[in-house]
């Protein structure tokens, strides 16, 4: 059975808004720099790829890669919409370059997906960006994918791993987490909780703190940019106060749900590289260059 048969198959760029289909309650969504969103249809199981601000996620039995927003050099964030719709100019450029193989993926996206954009007019945080997609999601469950977190693994993509867990706990929000050094906890949203499985990969979250000081961190398990959320999060986002920067943080909304026992965290299988920093961006390029050379 295709693990995405239950998804509504529409995804937003950069607010990650999705609109459930008549048959489904699922949708896929992600945020990139809080500026725009894209919806897509997808029922394939051959590969699992997130192409930056043009998300394309499928289940894979071999390798799954979720590419950052700089995958297609030369295209700015404002032009990402061209990657999810037919673009004769782009196809002409790529057809005469070594990157022409990318056309297969692009054409697959444009042939199978319906893309819609929601623009966040003010940069008021990830939570605010997700709120821009409420009118397209309305109800049901949706996925959030932040493309500055580039992820790669052998097997299911991280979002597919979360979806598998959500099938078992359909009333829960699921967040992906990884262990970080305690000296770096101030850079992340950090969870507190306890394991509920023998493999010690699934946490029942009882608290979430956005970028805590080391002495106040409940653990060193950091949230990365992969989530599956229920529509309950919209109510919480509207109720929480803005932080000191005047932003609406998704972590604070999820913390409210965690206090109600409605959030799980999953220690995912795979590699994650933070492309939001210069060092991470260079690391990601070097990593994938080494794969190409094998």
- CB 247, CB 131: distance < 8 Å: no
**DSSP, res 242:** P
- CB 208, CB 222: distance < 8 Å: no
The pLDDT value recorded for residue 232 is: 95
**Per-residue model confidence as pLDDT tens digits over 191-230:** 999 999 988 999 999 999 989 999 999 999 999 999 999 9
Which helix (DSSP H) or strand (DSSP E) does residue 160 occupy?
Answer: helix 158-168
- The fraction of the chain above a pLDDT of 70, given in percent, is 70
Q: Which CATH number is 7-293's, of 3.40.50.2300, 3.40.50.2000, 3.40.50.720, 3.90.550.10? A: 3.90.550.10
Does position 28 have pLDDT exceeding 90, yes or no? no
Instruction: For residue 133, count other CB atoms closer than 10 A to its CB.
Output: 30
Does position 160 have pLDDT exceeding 70, yes or no? yes
Could you give the CA distance from residue 206 to residue 151 in angstroms, rounded to a whole number? 26
Better pLDDT: 3 or 86: 86
pLDDT band of 82, cuts 50, 70, 90: low
Could you give the CA distance from residue 202 to residue 165 in angstroms, rounded to a whole number? 9
- CB 154, CB 62: distance < 8 Å: yes
Sheet holding 48-51, edge to edge: 54-56, 48-51, 63-67, 149-154, 271-274
């Amino acid at each position: 059975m295709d693990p995405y048969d239950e998804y509504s198959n529409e995804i937003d760029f950069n607010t990650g808004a999705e609109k459930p289909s008549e048959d489904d309650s699922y949708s896929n969504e992600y945020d990139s720099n809080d500026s725009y969103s894209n919806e897509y249809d997808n029922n394939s199981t051959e590969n699992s790829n997130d192409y930056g601000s043009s998300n394309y996620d499928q289940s894979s039995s071999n390798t799954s890669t979720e590419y950052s927003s700089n995958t297609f050099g030369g295209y700015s964030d404002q032009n990402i919409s061209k990657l999810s719709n037919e673009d004769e100019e782009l196809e002409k450029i790529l057809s005469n370059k070594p990157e022409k193989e990318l056309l297969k993926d692009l054409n697959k996206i444009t042939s199978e997906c319906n893309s819609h954009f929601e623009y966040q007019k003010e940069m008021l945080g990830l939570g605010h960006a997700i709120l821009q997609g409420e009118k397209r999601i309305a109800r049901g469950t949706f996925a959030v994918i932040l493309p500055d977190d580039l992820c790669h693994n052998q097997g299911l993509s991280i979002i597919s791993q979360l979806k598998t867990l959500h099938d078992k706990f359909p009333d829960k929000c699921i967040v992906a987490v990884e262990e970080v050094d305690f000296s770096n906890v101030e850079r992340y949203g950090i969870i507190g909780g306890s394991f509920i499985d023998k493999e010690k990969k699934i946490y029942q979250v009882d608290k979430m703190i956005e970028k805590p000081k080391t002495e106040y961190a409940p653990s060193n398990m950091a949230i990365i940019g992969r989530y599956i959320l229920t529509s309950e999060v919209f109510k919480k986002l509207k109720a929480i106060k803005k932080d000191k920067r005047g932003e609406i943080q998704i972590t604070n909304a999820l913390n409210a749900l965690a206090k109600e026992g409605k959030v799980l965290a999953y220690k995912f299988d795979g590699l994650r590289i933070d492309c939001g920093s210069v060092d991470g961006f260079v690391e990601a390029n070097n990593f994938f260059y080494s794969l190409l050379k094998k």
